[in-house]
Chains A and B, each alone.
Chain A
Amino acid sequence: MAKTKTRDPLGPLDVITAIFAGLFLTALLIGVIAVTVSDNASMLGFGEDDVCVTSQSGYASVQGGGETSDVDRQLDGLKRHVTTFPDSTTVCDREPTVWAKALNVLTQAPTFVAFLGFILLARRTITYAQRNGLFSHALAERVERLGWLLLLALVGSALVEWLAEGLLLSTMATRESWASGSFGVSVPGIIGAYGLVSIGRIMNRAAALQADADATI
């Protein structure tokens, strides 16, 4: 009799996570090599000659403010009652100090590190589930922990980036304070982390039911 092949329910998830982890790590490797070898390459703030940061405050010296002229309207294809405003300004330092370069890295790297860490931990959790089964307290706790870690990583990285941006702006412009950076946290990421915590807790209850079922003869 032909043996029926059981399908691995975590197979597709494993493949997708492996592809993401591979892409992230390859991009990281290529970036590190490019920054080391080339003078023009940059990655996550490393290897940049100019340090630039976006400010939400308006600067009088910046061109383009004020009422839109008729010539600009025609060029941009804007109607008479429509006006445009620059909502942010990119501030660049052409002679950055080591401190400014370090802050520049901190405005970009934390989110990448958080996502890379999450992908690697998710892959580890999937491998653990494939080896030890789907219904166990240990796996449920791992899933819940993964959710909390993602939540902390997202909020933590957003805080570090906000603080680094503010500090960087304050080193470039005296009117900017250390708190003038823009705070942006991924809302879908937060919802996803909350979902993971919830699934972990549900799995914990399911593991108890599975243990009872396993001990029934």
Chain B
Amino acid sequence: MSDHRIRVTLDEMLERRGMTLTELAVAVDISLVNLSILKTGKAKAIRFSTLTRICEVLDCQPGDLLAYDDNR
């Protein structure tokens, strides 16, 4: 069971930008496997460098990618 209540909202952001996970993986130079882990909420932590690259490509703020979910 997860020990945190942070939800990654990457899929919602991708939908808004009309982008696929594969396209994002190529653009930010991160493997599809790792991005998939991040998207499904299986990642334990995210590096600032990763967050920076995703925000650059998706033109968003870190807060747009993460949300506090009380129901988790």
- Contact of A215 with B42 in the complex, beta carbons under 8 Å: yes
Residues of the A chain whose Cβ atoms lie less than 8 Å from the Cβ of B45: 212, 215-217
CA distance A215 to B8 in the complex (A): 14
CA distance A75 to B44 in the complex (A): 80
CA distance A216 to B46 in the complex (A): 5
List residues of B (13-70) whose CB comes within 8 Å of A's CBs: 30, 34-35, 37-38, 42-47, 50
Total interface residues on A, CB under 8 Å, equals 4
Total interface residues on B, CB under 8 Å, equals 12
Instruction: Give min CB distance, A170 to chain B, whole Å.
Output: 63
A186-215 vs B: 1/0 string, CB under 8 Å? 000000000000000000000000001001
Instruction: Give min CB distance, A210 to chain B, whole Å.
Output: 12
CB nearest to B43 among chain A residues:
A217
CA distance A212 to B47 in the complex (A): 12
Instruction: Give min CB distance, B42 to chain A, whole Å.
Output: 7
Residues of the A chain whose Cβ atoms lie less than 8 Å from the Cβ of B42: 215
CB nearest to A214 among chain B residues:
B44
CB nearest to A211 among chain B residues:
B44
CA distance A217 to B37 in the complex (A): 8
CA distance A165 to B47 in the complex (A): 65
Instruction: Give min CB distance, B62 to chain A, whole Å.
Output: 13
CB nearest to A212 among chain B residues:
B44
Instruction: Give min CB distance, A209 to chain B, whole Å.
Output: 11
CA distance A215 to B34 in the complex (A): 9
Instruction: Give min CB distance, B57 to chain A, whole Å.
Output: 15
| New A-B pairs, 13, CB < 8 Å, besides A212-B45, A216-B46, A217-B30 | A212-B44, A215-B37, A215-B42, A215-B43, A216-B45, A216-B47, A217-B34, A217-B35, A217-B38, A217-B43, A217-B45, A217-B46, A217-B47
What residues of chain B have their CB less than 8 Å away from a CB belonging to chain A? 30, 34-35, 37-38, 42-47, 50
- Offer 12 A-B interface pairs, CB within 8 angstroms, sorted by A: A212-B44, A215-B43, A215-B45, A216-B43, A216-B44, A216-B45, A216-B46, A216-B47, A217-B30, A217-B45, A217-B47, A217-B50
What residues of chain A have their CB less than 8 Å away from a CB belonging to chain B? 212, 215-217
Q: Nearest 7 pairs between A and B by C-beta?
A: A215-B44, A216-B45, A217-B43, A217-B38, A217-B34, A217-B46, A217-B50
